Chain A
Amino acid sequence: MWKTILRRVLIMIPELIILSILVFLLAKAMPGDPFTGSINPRADPAQIHHLMEIHGLYDPWYQQYWNWVVHLFHGDLGMSYEYQEPVVDLIQQRGANTLWLALFTMVLTYGIGLPLGMYAAHHEGKLQDTLVRVYTYVTMSIPFFVVLVIGIWIFGYALNWFPTSGSVSAQASGLGGTMLSRLDHIILPGLLGALFGTVNIVQYLRSEVIDAKHSDYVRTARSKGVPMKDIYRHHIFRNSLLPIAAFAGYSITGLLGGSIFTEMVFSYPGMGLLFLNAINFRDYTVITALVLLYGFLNLLGTLLSDIVLSIVDPRVRVE
């Protein structure tokens, strides 16, 4: 088991190296440069040339790449051209914001999705099931950003129940006050995100539970004289939840990437918004750092869910 994990981690190293080179080259290949227009529309080309030189942007790519890697290992991802702040600090602040939103969304998603999915499957083919399925189909058929815009318009602007931008109110003071304000800012985007996230979980769990319900091992359990409610507890739910538990490891790392839509509509200063702006402003250092981070999170997520799966499912347990 530990051997396998260690091996998987080791395999991640070359994957990350290849990813970093690709990311670096792609960022370089993007048209434009970080200075034109951002300093002063009428800036002297010579001055831009000078800035480019200072930042080593005329060096050959492998030298730039090597510099970048060396700095990376010193915890230095460079300075953001746009924000004039170390990228590491930037990611830390934004990452924290995204983390709170992600955790909140996830708790809501699973908190609503799991019971709803089981409820629907339990009442397969009946009215309750139909209602849940109508909910999932309707939600799925509306684009996410439309829901966000409508949501913020009704609950943010019209009813004025929730703040419409930022991650924490400027007036908030004290630890408690700040926490409350943070919570206040993530309730609406979190709820709307969960509204969407649950759809997948509901549908997946519903079909898993229904499959399990009609499976041969449930028939065996019934012929043992086990009451149906115990069969649900010991056999059906357990077996249907396992793949979802494993997937959770993957989806949490996915959520950490931040939702571009949500953060844009709510002007929420998280990773998604950071990424979007970095692309708009050709903020290479930020782009490369973020893509690398996303790649890393992705690999980590896969590893995590594989580990979880191998713990909970004896069939994939590695000796």
Chain B
Amino acid sequence: MSLIEINDLKVHYPIRGGFWNRIVDNVKAVDGVTFNIEAGETYGLVGESGSGKSTTAKAIIGLEKATAGTVMYNGKDVTKAENRRKLDYNRDVQMIFQDSLSSLNPRKRIEDVIAEPLRNFEHLDKEEEKLRVLQLLDIVGLDADALYKYPHQFSGGQRQRIGVARAVATHPKLIIADEPVSALDLSVQAQVLNFMKKIQRQFGISYLFISHDLGVVRHMCKNIAIMTRGRIVEVGTREDIYNNPMHIYTKRLLAAIPETNVNHREAHRKHRLEIEKIYQEQQATYYDQDGMAFPLVKVSPTHSVALPPELAKKFEQQSESKGVNV
């Protein structure tokens, strides 16, 4: 059984208009997203700005109200607030944000910042609490003298590690990391990613790793979902996505990642421009008349793609003849 199952999740925002300011339409920020996260794995959710990846994260943790769909955790739908309370969901699922400075209270010392979730969920006495905070600081590689400092006294990478320490304080099962290293320099990024992996090994935490950086996602995640316009267009293992991308959007996204190999510069550029041309030509066929992606079709046991109906038919027939469960 998966740790958490997101099923046909939708988050729509009403657009108001007309004279009486009534709801005339919806912005479909998230429109039918389905995926599961297994215990101890890092699940990658990739998309460009406006794809709905952050809204998905917020809906999963309960910061955003789901319009429809379920998020099943321990057999209960945690899109309902009372279930979240009953299951201690907010202790089990924590979040790390992109901007560590604005997500840490500037007037609180690090001791209080990290102890806050402990105080909310576990009732420790002063001594125990301090011990735990020190342990947590040690896990993320910060000295004890950090206890009495304020967030602004740390560098970006250190603050992000403090964010990690706070997130793991309550021994969560799942950490949702929304662009956790996007604001960091390369060398600091390496440090934070290593810590995230170390903590995962140590505590068996799962991550929902949200990023637009395909290089980082490839490094961190075994299973990856590509999202655009509120829907997932491709899901698969790292190998499926990077070696055999099938949706035109994924192909284009991958082709756009800069290569660090200067020797292949021209070839890579040519490849990118080719893909771009194909994208411009075929784009329309990959989305329905409302501009939304088609339903996912299984193309291999691990790999699903939102293929246009004609292509999808082919794969459905194939899988039927092979007897693969779709």
Contact = CB atoms under 8 A, between A and B. Distances in A.
Partners in one complex: yes
Interface of A: 3, 6-7
B21 interface: yes
A3 B21 CA distance: 10
Contacts of A3: 19
5 contacts: A3-B19, A6-B19, A7-B19, A7-B20, A7-B21
Contacts of A6: 19
A6 B20 CA distance: 11
Contacts of A7: 19-21
A6 B18 CA distance: 12
Chain B, interface size: which category?
A: under 10
The SS class assigned to the B binding surface is: loop
Interface string B64-87: 000000000000000000000000
A147 B234 CA distance: 71
A6 B19 CA distance: 9
A3 B17 CA distance: 11
A3 B19 CA distance: 7
Contacts of B20: 7
Nearest to B17: A319
Interface in B1-54: 19-21
B16 to A, nearest CB: 11
A6 B21 CA distance: 12
A12 B20 CA distance: 14
Nearest 5 pairs between A and B by C-beta?
A3-B19, A7-B19, A7-B21, A7-B20, A6-B19
B25 to A, nearest CB: 15
B19 to A, nearest CB: 6
A272 to B, nearest CB: 37
Nearest to B21: A7
Nearest to B20: A7
B310 to A, nearest CB: 40
Nearest to A11: B21
A117 B20 CA distance: 42
Contacts of B19: 3, 6-7
Contacts of B21: 7
Nearest to A6: B19
A3 B20 CA distance: 10
A35 B279 CA distance: 85
Nearest to A3: B19
A63 B295 CA distance: 64
A317 to B, nearest CB: 15
Nearest to B18: A3
A318 B20 CA distance: 15
B17 to A, nearest CB: 9
Interface string B257-287: 0000000000000000000000000000000
A6 to B, nearest CB: 8
B46 to A, nearest CB: 29
A228 B20 CA distance: 47
A7 B20 CA distance: 8
A7 B19 CA distance: 7
A66 B20 CA distance: 29
A103 B21 CA distance: 37
B3 to A, nearest CB: 43
B156 to A, nearest CB: 21
B175 to A, nearest CB: 34
Nearest to A319: B17
A7 B17 CA distance: 12
A261 to B, nearest CB: 36
Interface in B286-309: none
B20 to A, nearest CB: 8
A146 B21 CA distance: 49
B159 to A, nearest CB: 24
Interface string B133-154: 0000000000000000000000
A200 B19 CA distance: 37
A2 to B, nearest CB: 11
A211 B19 CA distance: 37
Interface string B81-113: 000000000000000000000000000000000
A10 B198 CA distance: 61
Nearest to B19: A3
B283 to A, nearest CB: 28
A154 B21 CA distance: 57
B145 to A, nearest CB: 34
A216 to B, nearest CB: 18
A108 B20 CA distance: 42
B85 to A, nearest CB: 36
A184 to B, nearest CB: 51
B15 to A, nearest CB: 12
